[in-house]
Amino acid sequence: MAAAVVLLRRLRGVTAAPRRAAAALPLTTSVRGVSDSTEPLTIETSVPYKSHIVDPPPREVATTARELATFFRDMSAMRRAEIAADSLYKAKLIRGFCHLYDGQEAVAVGMEAATTRADAIITAYRDHCAYLARGGDLAALFAELMGRRGGCSRGKGGSMHLYKKDANFYGGHGIVGAQVPLGCGLAFAQRYRKEAAVTFDLYGDGAANQGQLFEALNMAALWKLPVVLVCENNHYGMGTAEWRASKSPAYYKRGDYVPGLKVDGMDVLAVKQACKFAKQHALENGPIILEMDTYRYHGHSMSDPGSTYRTRDEIAGIRQERDPIERVRKLLLAHDFATTQELKDMEKEIRKQVDTAIAKAKESPMPDPSELFTNVYVNDCGLET
């Protein structure tokens, strides 16, 4: 995986692997001095959890210097990748739909920290960072965005249809809300096979009023399926504010008979704690809803400037007060786990590796025209050569 993606930290002159075997991004940085300590420390979440018919998890979250450095690295890599995708789209190297995730990185990274690769994840079309969190390769991401053969979906899926079956990442879906019943189906399979795993089934606030969501949730509750429904509430469904689209925007309560939690989706530690709690609940009791209170900095898609239905001051205020990367940067500095310069050096290395991944992706050829006819039938049966 050459330059495409390897961001590790060299801390105190020693290269160290992430603590979890299923760490998010298989990246490597060579920044010296950042603490690699695995000594536990406890940090309180930014705000209390809000709960619906369930006792919330404690606000005190166990972490380590190594984990915080990993969070900073992975979220910074995601942020840089999305900024690069913006530039590639404007250069017309990425065509079609493109929905960016910058601002919401704590949801993908915190969720990955609470799961294993045996757990399944399925999401909507804002899927770039979920793919990376599952261990996706940066070069394969950019190749897919540019429709190249080296993409994770062979250049045939594009931005909205990333896929990584070996990590139980099932996409990337372009129809609003359509992935929710599919995610419940994945959970049904897990229960049928008696696997000790769950499915994290993601959707946005813009899909929260879809009928298929409630139909699937009803069946999941009846059958006590191990599914965690995650509403990534970035407060705008396309250009429509949540209060204009939903009579009750308390999405964590929408399950009625299904428990729910509201989580600060800009706090990666709060997300990790909530997802860990929700996974255990789902394994023992069936479905639970997590509402992630988050925010996207870009517009809905690249065709949306993102400033006609909200003010620039609102966006700047969220960046200043709640940015997930800056939150972790402050923790690393406050606990003397890193210096300002060391974190800047890490960001510089991430930028270089993203640039290298893009260069590699550009070298990948376009799919052969014959690919139009593959993956239509099982084993390509019925096709004429």
**Does residue 30 belong to any structural domain of this protein?**
no
How many Å apart are CA 185 and CA 348, to the nearest integer? Answer: 42
The residue range of the domain holding 329 is 40-336+355-363
How far from 337 is each of 27, 72, 235, 273, 332, CA to CA, in Å? 20, 12, 34, 22, 5
**Does residue 17 belong to any structural domain of this protein?**
no
Q: What dihedral angle (degrees, nearest 10) is formed by the CA atoms of 343, 346, 350, 356?
A: 150
How many Å apart are CA 154 and CA 345, to the nearest integer? Answer: 34
pLDDT at res. 21? 38
**Does residue 207 belong to any structural domain of this protein?**
yes
The residues, any chain, with a CB within 8 Å of residue 203's CB and separated by 6 or more, are 123, 124, 177, 179, 180, 210, 213, 229, 230, 231, 232
pLDDT at res. 151? 97
Phi, psi (deg, nearest 5) at residue 291: -100, 115
**Does residue 376 belong to any structural domain of this protein?**
no
**Does residue 28 belong to any structural domain of this protein?**
no
**Does residue 57 belong to any structural domain of this protein?**
yes
65-96 confidence digits (pLDDT tens) = 999 999 999 999 999 999 999 999 999 999 99
Q: What does pTM read for this prediction?
A: 0.90
pLDDT at res. 375? 80
**Does residue 370 belong to any structural domain of this protein?**
no
**Does residue 218 belong to any structural domain of this protein?**
yes
Q: Are 345 and 75 in contact (CB under 8 A)?
A: no
How many Å apart are CA 54 and CA 287, to the nearest integer? Answer: 12
Number of domains present in the structure of the chain: 1
How many Å apart are CA 260 and CA 233, to the nearest integer? Answer: 14
Residue 41 CB burial class (10 angstroms; 0-12, 13-18, ≥19): middle
Task: Determine what percent of the chain is predicted with pLDDT higher than 90.
Answer: 87
Domain with 170 in it: what CATH number?
3.40.50.970
- pLDDT tens-digit profile, the chain (385 residues): 333 333 333 323 323 333 343 444 656 665 568 999 999 999 999 999 999 999 999 999 999 999 999 999 999 999 999 999 999 999 999 999 999 999 999 999 999 999 999 999 999 999 999 999 999 999 999 999 999 999 999 999 999 999 999 999 999 999 999 999 999 999 999 999 999 999 999 999 999 999 999 999 999 999 999 999 999 999 999 999 999 999 999 999 999 999 999 999 999 999 999 999 999 999 999 999 999 999 999 999 999 999 999 999 999 999 999 999 999 999 999 999 999 999 999 999 999 999 999 999 999 999 998 888 888 777 765 555 5
pLDDT at res. 11? 29
What 8-state DSSP symbol labels residue 169? B
Q: Which of 67, 22, 20, 12 is nearest to 41 (CA)?
A: 67
* R_g of the chain computed on alpha carbons: 20
How many Å apart are CA 22 and CA 2, to the nearest integer? Answer: 19
